[in-house]
Structure 1
Amino acid sequence: MDEHRVANYIELCGSNYEIGFQMGMTVRNIDMLKSRLLSVNRCLSESDIHKATSTFDCFCPGLNEELQGFADANEIDISQVIYYAVTYLVAGCSQIVFIPRITDGHCTLLARNYDYFPDMDDWVLSKTRVSGKYAHLGTNIMQFGRGEGVNEYGFAVSQSACGRPVNNFANCKRPVVDGLQFWAIVRTLLENTKSVDDALHWIKNMPITCNINLMLADKEGHVALVEIFDNHRAICQIDNNSRQGYIAATNHIHLPELRQLEPWAMQNSVCRLETIKKSLQHKTEVSADFIKALLLREYPNGLKVSHYQCSFGTIKSMIFNLEECSVEICWGGVSDNHWKRYSLNTSTPNEQFKQVIIDKPPSDAFFELIAL
């Protein structure tokens, strides 16, 4: 079954408050976003709001000012901005980082598919320049957060859920610590760090409530997979001199130090990782065209999944070039939607365009749990 979605590209510039106000005015004219981001009732108690704002001030500087601008534009109390309720505390994804040694352009490439339920995604790619912070290019989560991105220094961040999503909603894993969701962490790193080493230092003491495979990469070819599960952490790193030319992650625990915490995985997560490994097994050089084909080829032979009504359909396929500080994006993982390129170094007018998604039912084994 084919459906159409409206994808957006926007450029935001100014202080955090000014950017929040700009987003607030934009949301007033888009009913889908307005219904997802605002609540007519107070979402958190005053005590919880105080805890959240204190955490944001410490680990996500500028975010409270942006949320205040958004609330002022919509003439509501800041406690009615849903971002507080869902961020102070995921989806399925595949992600791969290739070091310069094995790419045909000799630059670090970060590739990823983001898979989720289409009604719960913003369908927005934005270029954001906050005064006094690093400019970045990435897709929005709850408008204020980012799912992934690259900044002006050629540093990139991506993520995939590690096991069952952690939040306060029904059927999800409850958080074991108070802390931040991935979209707040990703944006903070993009706006405040220049390299993988910077990012590792920044997140060392960050309160992180989600179970996540956090991928960090810079244009020098330094790559780190930071795996976090129930507040336990493990790190795997490679650089441009490493024998292995890439790091990949899907939606389960990959690093042996944490394996005993969750020795199970969905069949589709293991299959996607194996597909990546098999596709790269004999490759001494990879191109953007090769990566695009892998991202858009249908599961199980590729990474594209189409089970949207089961909250597991590809929302976007992306390739970040860290040397050029650019991204190519194909909404819906459908070749007919075409790849579109955006760069931090080139201004592009805000735009909207209809994109098709194709829904298919999953196989019986797709969500099956198997032992690692």
Structure 2
Amino acid sequence: MYHPRLYGEFYEMGLKYGKLLYDKANFIIPNISTQKMDFGLESYEELKLFYPEVIEEIRGFAVGIKDESEKLGAFLLSIGVFNPTGQCSVFAFKNDNSTIIGRNYDMLFDFKKFTESSLIAPKDKYSYISQSDVFIGRSDGINEKGLSIAMSFVNGTEIQTGISFHFIVRKVLEDCENTHQAVELIQKAKVSTANNFLIADKNGEIAVVESAPQKCIVRRPEKNEPYIYITNQFKTKEMQPFDRGGVEWSKSKERYNGLKEILATVEEMDLEKAKEILSNKCVCLNLKKEKFGTIWSVVANLNELSIERAETKPTNKNYKSETRLDWWLKKR
């Protein structure tokens, strides 16, 4: 897993990281089909309206790798649209005085070599720690305000040119300080695919946004349940017509039910308990035949900004403390 530290103007961050990958890893933009390129170019125009700052970062990155920003943007905005394979498990638990989150990211084992955990601190935005298997876009993260967001794929019935989850997650981390703001941002976005977004903040406000091109519904915890969780299907009646299903191979329902049963027994959550849950065989994927499973795992106390990460299949003992956000907040 790479561990870049990017801060400053958006263009500068892109240029720095693009040049680094070009010089050290001979990075070039992978070839994509005409269908994906056309879709990506149309979505790039939507991204200019939704998130103009990150366009500058894409331009800087393109200069760093000696290529065209439109081509780079089209590639980024086509990822995960036509062949969404990631399968994930996420939960949030609110104690009386703290909010704890846990997240497993499940993907093809071959993607381990592309994973990164980044400190990103854009000028005049919130700084944050976030994980991804693609540069610039994010899959989950925690920002300096104690706001967490993590996505999971849903096999939706439609796609449309628009904003991919990578940029939804990132904009939330940079612009929002609480769950209410994050939910509003996602509801207003023209999303390209179906996803669940689990959002939690240090005040104990936790929610799931079930999002698809056709509709968007906010799901809150059930009565007397101080927790909420997602895997890879929509749970509300309103959103189920937009869920194609077909995720049995990744044990999505088993993972969902596993989280449901385990969380119902927890009176108070801490980081050690969160690690135990994410390592449980009912939640952690290890599909050897498909060469697919959990490739990173994150737990955090949002009130203390205590973050720990396992950069492979998680166990109770292979998490390491994340200190870069604390370093940045003291440095600036």
Pairwise TM-score range, normalised by the shorter structure:
0.7 to 0.9
1:329 lines up with 2:309 in the alignment:
yes
Rounded Cα–Cα distance in structure 2 between residues aligned with 1:133 and 1:108: 23
Rounded Cα–Cα distance in structure 2 between residues aligned with 1:149 and 1:326: 12
Pick aligned residue for 1:258 from 212, 233, 239: 239
Rounded Cα–Cα distance in structure 2 between residues aligned with 1:326 and 1:54: 37
Secondary structure at the aligned position of 1:149 is classed as strand
Q: Is the 8 A contact 2:98 2:303 kept in 1?
A: yes
1:219 lines up with 2:206 in the alignment:
no
The 1:60/1:263 distance shift into structure 2, 3 A limit, reads: closer
Q: State the TM-score, normalizing by the size of structure 1.
A: 0.78
Aligned counterpart, 1:109:
100
1:86 lines up with 2:67 in the alignment:
no
Q: Is the 8 A contact 2:191 2:212 kept in 1?
A: no
Residue 311 of structure 1: how far off its partner (Å): 5.8
Q: RMSD of aligned C-alpha atoms?
A: 2.8
1:142 lines up with 2:130 in the alignment:
no
Q: Is the 8 A contact 2:95 2:268 kept in 1?
A: no
More deviation in 272-281 or 210-219?
272-281
Structure 1 segment 50-69 matched on structure 2, within 5 A: 51-69=42-60
Rounded Cα–Cα distance in structure 2 between residues aligned with 1:98 and 1:265: 28
Aligned counterpart, 1:155:
147
Which sections of structure 1, spanning at least 5 residues, go unmatched? 1-6, 167-172, 349-372
Residue 189 of structure 1: how far off its partner (Å): 0.7
Q: Amino acid of the residue matched to residue 288 of structure 1?
A: L
Pick aligned residue for 2:27 from 9, 28, 34: 34
Which sections of structure 2, spanning at least 5 residues, go unmatched? none
Q: Amino acid of the residue matched to residue 21 of structure 1?
A: L
The 1:218/1:331 distance shift into structure 2, 3 A limit, reads: same
4+ long deviations beyond 6 Å? 40-43
Q: Is the 8 A contact 1:118 1:311 kept in 2?
A: yes
Rounded Cα–Cα distance in structure 1 between residues aligned with 2:191 and 2:307: 27
Residue 308 of structure 1: how far off its partner (Å): 5.8
Structure 1 segment 258-337 matched on structure 2, within 5 A: 258-262=239-243, 264=245, 266-267=247-248, 268-298=251-281, 302-307=282-287, 310=290, 312-335=292-315
The 1:286/1:16 distance shift into structure 2, 3 A limit, reads: same
Q: State the TM-score, normalizing by the size of structure 2.
A: 0.87
Residue 87 of structure 1: how far off its partner (Å): 7.3
Q: Is the 8 A contact 2:271 2:300 kept in 1?
A: no
Q: Is the 8 A contact 1:157 1:215 kept in 2?
A: yes
1:8 lines up with 2:2 in the alignment:
yes
Residue 41 of structure 1: how far off its partner (Å): 10
The 1:202/1:280 distance shift into structure 2, 3 A limit, reads: closer
Q: Is the 8 A contact 1:215 1:225 kept in 2?
A: yes
Residue 209 of structure 1: how far off its partner (Å): 1.6
Residue 182 of structure 1: how far off its partner (Å): 0.9
1:44 lines up with 2:37 in the alignment:
yes
The 1:99/1:332 distance shift into structure 2, 3 A limit, reads: same
Secondary structure at the aligned position of 2:185 is classed as helix
More helix by share: 2
The 1:196/1:336 distance shift into structure 2, 3 A limit, reads: closer
1:75 lines up with 2:66 in the alignment:
yes
More deviation in 203-212 or 13-22?
203-212
Q: Amino acid of the residue matched to residue 76 of structure 2?
A: Y
The 1:264/1:12 distance shift into structure 2, 3 A limit, reads: closer
Q: Is the 8 A contact 1:116 1:308 kept in 2?
A: no
Pick aligned residue for 2:230 from 228, 234, 249: 249
Q: Is the 8 A contact 2:116 2:131 kept in 1?
A: yes
Q: Is the 8 A contact 1:99 1:107 kept in 2?
A: yes
Q: Is the 8 A contact 1:252 1:265 kept in 2?
A: no
Aligned counterpart, 2:17:
23
Deviations 1:271-316, CA, capped at 9 Å, x for gaps? 1111112212232122221221121233xxx311122662631111
More strand by share: 1
Aligned counterpart, 2:120:
128
Tell me the percent identity: 23
Rounded Cα–Cα distance in structure 1 between residues aligned with 2:40 and 2:318: 44
Rounded Cα–Cα distance in structure 2 between residues aligned with 1:159 and 1:317: 13
Larger radius of gyration: 1
The 1:9/1:336 distance shift into structure 2, 3 A limit, reads: farther
Q: Amino acid of the residue matched to residue 64 of structure 2?
A: A
The 1:84/1:232 distance shift into structure 2, 3 A limit, reads: closer
The 1:264/1:140 distance shift into structure 2, 3 A limit, reads: closer
Q: Is the 8 A contact 1:59 1:188 kept in 2?
A: no
Deviations 1:109-138, CA, capped at 9 Å, x for gaps? 111100001333522100100111111111
Q: Is the 8 A contact 1:176 1:231 kept in 2?
A: no
Secondary structure at the aligned position of 1:56 is classed as helix
Q: Amino acid of the residue matched to residue 68 of structure 1?
A: R
